[in-house]
Structure 1
Amino acid sequence: MRAFFLLWLVFMLMTIGSRIYAQDVLVKGVIIEKGTNIRIALGVITNKHSGKAVGSNDLGIFNLKVNLGDTLLIEKRNFVSQQIVVNSNKDILIYLVRSSVTLDEVTVKGKTKIEDLQEIRREFKRQGSFYEGKPPLALLNPLNGSPLTFFYELFGKTPAKARRFKRYYDKELQLMQVDNFFNKTLVSKHTPLEGKNLDKFMLEYSPTAEMVKHWNNYDAVNYIKLSAKKFADTLKN
């Protein structure tokens, strides 16, 4: 009986200990297309231990509660999935490798990304969606309009896909515009940052699409230098 009690006590202590060390932390991360500085929106991040999942926002950023040691599965259509183990509560940078671009029967290879996106938009038009799911009210005019086209664009399956893709297309263009002025090559050229500090700087000081809308190269370099100085000051604290 005493031996049984001791075994039970050891088991309880181990259980309590494991709960103490299973630290529940909020992890922040960002998903980026490898080889570029383009953020990946609508990625799915799943905690394989708890089964909880979240999506990345328009800037590729996500927040997820995990225990240290949990494994995260990062997935995004047309990208190679990746798994990482959470070892700390520091920000996570995830670089996904693009696979072939596929949308239903549309497969576009060997072109630049913008050409890929434009080709998919043209394919939707070839499939009969000329207004990308957003028809003008003028189509309702029974004399010189086309009411059938109007309602097809609103409720048809292909226009619905075209409408979703248009939102994705617009976001990608914004991210590419940011990448033109804020990328690792340019930052490395004008700052001494490297390694983890460079990654952290890229995550924390990335400008918005609205900010870079009217930038030229001088504006970009000036922003990078000023931001790098602020970042360096935070490292001293």
Structure 2
Amino acid sequence: MKHLKLLLLLLGLVQGLQLKAQDFALKGVVIEKGSNVRIALAEITNIRTKMGAASNDIGMFQLSARVGDTLWVKKRNLTDQKIVVKTDGDLVVYLVRGSTTLEEVTVKGQTKKQEMEDIKRDLKHNGSFYAGKPPLILLNPFGGSPLTFFYELFGKTPARARNFNRYYKKELGLIEVDKFFNKSLVTSYTKLRGKELDKFLLDYYPSSSTTSNWNNYDAVKYIKESAKKYTDTLRHTN
């Protein structure tokens, strides 16, 4: 009888370890702490797999994970959160709203930019000098390096470099936009608050090409004019 109990205990431990090692479809919801408002379009990334998902209109998301994975959850104008997956049950993630003044955005943007530059250097040192986009001159048999050319096209490190460069360009654009369009500036120059403010920030977020030549005057002008359009729309729909 004792041997049977021991065997059953060992089987239970083995099954538990297998469960921890298996990927499953993790379901969750992202909520703003304090207001209990569900957050749409939050970015959820599994740090282990580098795969991501976005929350839908009611804050729900789903992505592949396993017990022990760490998820990085972020949403513009809210504080990033890292969550460890402890079970295969549904996950609730609470994000805290943070202040985003122009000065803070600039400092954070420069810090993030420096971090991305460090990653680029690491990729280069690990064997991707051309970031996965080799020049055709490398195919020249006289003085070129065909092996390097094909490595940059098909190697794993250059492939990572290409993916990172796409992310790098996108993030640089968002950092510049955040300098001119953030919660602090909008609340300073409009009367929008609460859910109306959140929807305005989402609906009227300008593109990086729009803000490329902006100064503070242009930013304030855009915020005021856009807020007027937004409030006029609200009046007509109510």
**Superposed pair shares fold, TM > 0.5:** yes
1:223 deviates by 0.4
Q: Which has the larger helix fraction? A: 2
Secondary structure of 2:171's match?
A: helix
Q: Amino acid of the residue matched to residue 225 of structure 1?
A: K
Question: Which amino acid is 2:41 matched to?
Answer: V
The alignment partner of 2:41 has SS state of strand
Moved over 4 A (4+): 73-79, 92-96
Shift in CA distance, 78/132, structure 1 to aligned 2, threshold 3 Å: farther
Find the residue that maps to 2:174 and give its secondary structure: helix
2:141 aligns with 142
Contact 1:80-1:96 at 8 Å conserved across structures: no
Contact 1:132/1:162 (CA < 8 Å) preserved in 2? yes
| Equivalent residue, structure 2, for 1:129 | 128
Unaligned runs of 5+ in 2: 1-37, 47-51, 83-109
Structure 2 CA distance for partners of 1:113 and 1:225, relative to 1, 3 Å: same
AA at the equivalent of 1:153: E
- TM-score, with normalisation over the residues of structure 1? 0.60
Q: Give, in angstroms, the shift of residue 152 of structure 1.
A: 0.7
Aligned-partner Cα distance in 2 for 1:116–1:171: 15
Once the two structures are TM-superposed, the CA of residue 156 in structure 1 deviates from its matched residue by 0.5
> Whole-Å Cα distance in 2 between the matches of residues 213 and 231 of structure 1?
23
For 1:176-215, list aligned pairs within 5 A.
Answer: 176-215=175-214
Q: Which of the residues 68, 72, 77 maps onto 1:80?
A: 72
Change (3 A) 1:93 1:175: closer
Q: Deviations over 1:63-98 (max 9, x none)?
A: 57x8xxx9545799975359xxxxxxxxx9994615
Alpha carbons of structure 1 residues 192 and 71: separation in structure 2 relative to 1, 3 Å: closer
SS at match of 2:128: coil
Alpha-carbon distance between aligned partners in 2 of 1:139 and 1:209, rounded to the nearest angstrom: 34
Q: TM-score when scaled to structure 2?
A: 0.59
Q: Do the aligned partners of 1:190 and 1:225 also contact (CA within 8 Å) in 2?
A: yes
Alpha-carbon distance in 1 for matches of 2:112, 2:70: 12
Match of 1:80, SS state, is strand
For 1:179, the aligned partner's letter is D
Please say if residues 30 and 93 of structure 1, whose CA atoms lie closer than 8 Å, have aligned partners that are also in contact. no
Kept after mapping to 1: 8 A contact 2:45/2:73: no
Shift of 1:224: 0.4
Letter in 2 for 1:118: E
Identity %: 49
Residue equivalent to 1:97: 80
Partner Cα separation in structure 2 for residue 181 and residue 78 of structure 1: 32
Aligned equivalent of 1:30, options 30, 41, 45: 41
Go from structure 1 to structure 2 and tell me whether the alpha carbon gap of 1:219 and 1:93 turns closer, same or farther (over 3 Å shift). closer
